[in-house]
Chains A and B, each alone.
Chain A
């Protein structure tokens, strides 16, 4: 298995531009998580999906952030418009949910820089 795939690996954009991050979970996993990691705040859960349905988006910082999962093999995290404070590493993780247990597998991350 290729593991969780994220693209792009690096993104540099100007303030005000739209940014779309992409994630392909591990085949057969039914849960998907988006995280943001910064030096100041560490790893923060933004949103997670079970069976393509958003379960908890309370971590999404503002309306500028949106996430979709149109099918079991693809998810996007969009920031529009982007701001310099959005600069961070964004991770996607997937899991096969067993009861209430999640064993998460992480992708390599997308390093976003907003200038």
Chain B
């Protein structure tokens, strides 16, 4: 059974800092990995999808990498802004969708 872990559980940084969120999974036979953000009381917003054959994906200030063999993905956020404050979740697909518990990010002005 796939286990997905996100570290850290919470992170607080000053505005402008670059930061890295981590996602690890136990079964490397995945088809894709997706990063989401969730604002309090809201649904999930898709940020980036990485297919199993890809190493990274970029969208604006976000860059997600995937290392299947080591069971890890990272989400890099450049020049963080207060509007980036949210919970970030990774989801792993290997015919069984598994989500991590998320990292709660606070960016202080």
**B-contacting residues of A (Cβ < 8 Å)?**
33, 42-45, 48, 56, 91, 93, 99-109
Count chain B residues whose beta carbon lies closer than 8 angstroms to a beta carbon of A: 23
The answer to whether residues A42 and B99 also contact, given A102-B93, A103-B49, A109-B43 and a CB cut-off of 8 A, is yes
Closest 8 CB pairs of A and B: A43-B99, A100-B31, A106-B44, A106-B43, A108-B43, A101-B32, A103-B49, A45-B97
Asked if B43 and A101 make an inter-chain contact with CB atoms under 8 angstroms apart, the answer reads no
| Chain B residues within 8 Å of A, Cβ to Cβ | 31-32, 34, 36, 42-46, 49, 51-52, 89, 91, 93, 95-102
Please pick, from B36, B46, B93, B101, the residue contacting A101 in the complex, using a CB distance under 8 A: B93
13 sampled A-B residue pairs with Cβ under 8 A? A42-B99, A42-B101, A42-B102, A45-B97, A48-B97, A56-B96, A91-B44, A100-B32, A101-B49, A101-B52, A104-B34, A107-B43, A109-B43
Contacting A104 at CB < 8 Å: which of B42, B51, B91? B91
Give the distance to chain B from A47, nearest Cβ to Cβ, in Å. Answer: 11
Cβ contact within 8 Å between A105 and B46: yes
